[in-house]
Amino acid sequence: FPAENIRNFSIIAHVDHGKSTLADRLLELTGTISSNHSHQQVLDKLNVERERGITTCSMFYKYKDKDYLLNLIDTPGHVDFNYEVSRSLVACQGTILLVDASQGIQAQTVANFFLAFNEGLTIIPVINKIDLPAAEPDRVINQVESTFELDTSEISLISAKSGLGVDKILPSVIEKIPPPSGDVNKPLKAFLFDSWYDTYVGVICLMEIVDGKLQKGDKIVSAYSEKMYEVIDIGIMHPEQFTTGYLHAGQVGYVVCSMKVAAEAHVGDTFYHIKNPVDPLPGFEPAKSMVFAGVFPIDTNEFNRLDESITKLTLNDASVSIQRETSMALGQGWRIGFLGTLHMDVFKQRLEEEHDANVIITQPTVPYKIVYRDGTAKLIRNPTEFPEPMELQNKLSELQEPMILATIILPEEYMGSIIDLCGSRRGEQIEYNYMDESRVIMKYSIPLAEIVTDFHDELKSRSSGYASFDYEDMGYQISDIVKMNVLINKKPVDALATILHRSQVANVGREWAKKLSEVIPKQLYEVIIQTTIGGKVIARETIPAMRKNVTAKCYGGDVTRNIELPQKAFYDFLSKG
Ligand code: GDP
Ligand code: MG
């Protein structure tokens, strides 16, 4: 296939707007899969097997008597994984922007549009679900024009479910999206955009051949590590690995080379032939963990088994960061960094379901930054690392917290309630616009810490499910944050320390003390629960001794004694949120 007969494209859409259904239809239409229904959501399935990431699928298609190779590059596309969407777009020259005819443009439609727009991709708008009784295609076409300034004169109206209009999609992909610009006669330049670990064949890389030609047996070098590898197997995904023995400029496919461990496959790396070094392509910023939590086995004897499970679960997920953590209260565990809370929930669920694990997960923390007067800075991923006020005296320049830029789209009748919500989460409105007579798009800057808890659920419940939300990283901002300790009988419990904005201390301090007093069972002695900031008590609760007798008196004298709190009390407290 000469480059002019290749198209590399993706489908971008808000969740549930029909991306997977359309992908299936296209695979059927090109005979890549048969059209019986056992094949539903093929690309998603490939992804799930791989735990997440980017899938590519090559299709062969005849158009106006010419044979084309069409490569569909797909990502699952949830808000936490926008960085994967942008990674996958690098290997495309164009994208189909799919919008649900009954729901119209939603927050992820906007976020994904801008990712594609900033990559300079050709964007083909398509309206889906026109079979639905609630479909309002004309209204959605207007939204597409006014929000994205896209030409809608030739817009496709389709039903991915019934197949109506789907036959128009691939011709417009060929006509509108430019072919890749690579040159097969130039030295090899291969771009690695995703990888996963397969138990049978080892590390499998997805690569785009930007220039040149790569064949089985070739010796290639990583521009990142300068390590040499030999290509063992190479081919296209169709939809699973299909050996071709080579890939040419403009193609995307899989490459198995002599990589031993997943960590050798650096996403964003450029590979070249050993005798022909080239300048590397601009790489990617590594995925940043934005939410950190401590994970501890409920039964401490389970530590080794869980360590294995966690290693297995994260083998393919370079966006997870792991460190060992030891807590006085909870014993040995791990501090794990995730892209967001959804990512964390998925991880926890898999750990419980697939690895039969019982774990305590501590309150999630975002990475706070301490900037010292000498210009150095320290990232705090664990509240226990946060210095006490005394330690910061004369050294501190400022404290900062991570911010996000939220895009919220909603019917105007819910505006008041959502503005209240954002305000209560320390959000600041940056702009709002009407997308049409009744739909509003708002932008807010909000501290990341405020959305990692229940922001999304709250947004949905205040808008009867109609508001949609997406966010992007906005860097750090100065903030008046403090560390709150929880003391039980005067002893701080490390696993319960938390970092808060000063304005929240009184409420959270009271709430936590109260909630703890409800989950800790009565003991033989009195239990005093205190929440404190820099030694100052915010709230106090007392759990009276089981019965007033002599024994209690005996214990009573030594309130600083390290009491053994049952793990269950922590579990109850933390899982209640
Ligand atoms: P994705 O999240 O964008 O991948 O969306 P899916 O492809 O999983 O589709 C979400 C839901 O919408 C599924 O229940 C589909 O069956 C349904 N759906 C997709 N396309 C259409 C369509 O054209 N018409 C109707 N009525 N439903 C559709
Ligand atoms: Mg899907």
Chain position carrying tokens 């309206």: 127
**What pLDDT does 283 receive?**
79
Cβ contact 228:272 at 8 Å: no
Testing ligand 1's pocket by substitution, the residue of 11, 19, 21 carrying the most ligand atoms inside 8 A of its CB is 21
At 215-265, the pLDDT tens digits run 999 999 999 999 999 999 999 999 889 999 999 999 999 999 989 888 889
Predicted complex ipTM: 0.99
Phi-psi region of 324 (alpha: psi -120 to 50; beta: other; left: phi over 0): beta
With a pLDDT cut of 90, the percent of the chain lying above it is 64
* Whole-angstrom distance, CA of residue 526 vs CA of residue 28: 69
- Output the pLDDT for position 49: 54
Of ligand 1's listed atoms, the one at least distance from the Cα of 159 is 23
Say whether 15 counts as a known binding-site residue: yes
Distance CA(100)–CA(140), nearest Å, equals: 8
**Do 230 and 219 form a contact (C-beta atoms < 8 A)?**
yes
Q: How far apart are CA 144 and CA 88, in angstroms?
A: 23
What pLDDT, on a 0 to 100 scale, did the predictor assign at position 557?
40
Q: How far is the CA of 15 from the centre of ligand 2 (A)?
A: 7
Q: Which two tokens stand for residue 433?
A: 């616009």
Q: Which residue has the higher pLDDT, 369 or 566?
A: 369
Cβ < 6 Å from ligand 1: which residues? Answer: 13, 15-21, 128-129, 131-132, 159-161
Nearest to 364 by CA among 500, 474, 565, 516: 500
Q: How far is the CA of 34 from the centre of ligand 1 (A)?
A: 19
Instruction: Check if the beta carbon of residue 530 is closer than 8 Å to that of residue 486.
Output: yes
The tokens describing 410, both together, are: 């909603």
pLDDT value for 559:
40
Q: What angle do CA 286, 342, 75 make, to 5 degrees?
A: 60
Decide: helix, strand or coil at residue 288.
coil
Q: What is the pLDDT of residue 240?
A: 87
Alpha helix segments (H runs only) across 332-447: 341-355, 389-392, 415-424
Give the β-pairing of 94-100 and 55-63: unpaired
> Could you read off the pLDDT of 303-354 as tens digits, one per residue?
999 999 998 888 767 778 899 999 888 889 999 999 888 888 888 888 888 8
Mean residue pLDDT across the chain: 89
- What does the pLDDT average to over 534-539? 93
pLDDT tens digits for range 351-371: 888 888 889 888 899 999 999
Is the pLDDT confidence value at 562 over 60?
no
Task: Look at residue 258 in the predicted model and tell me its pLDDT.
Answer: 87
Residue 266 and residue 327 in contact, taking contact as beta carbons nearer than 8 Å: no
pLDDT tens for each residue of 50-105: 556 688 899 999 999 999 999 999 876 666 777 778 888 989 999 999 999 999 99
Which of 161, 168, 169 is the pocket-test mutation for ligand 1 (most atoms within 8 Å of CB)? 161
Please answer whether residues 197 and 18 qualify as being in contact, where contact means their C-beta atoms are separated by less than 8 angstroms. no
Q: At what angle do helices 19-29 and 42-49 cross, to 10 degrees?
A: 110
| Average confidence (pLDDT) over 514-522 | 89
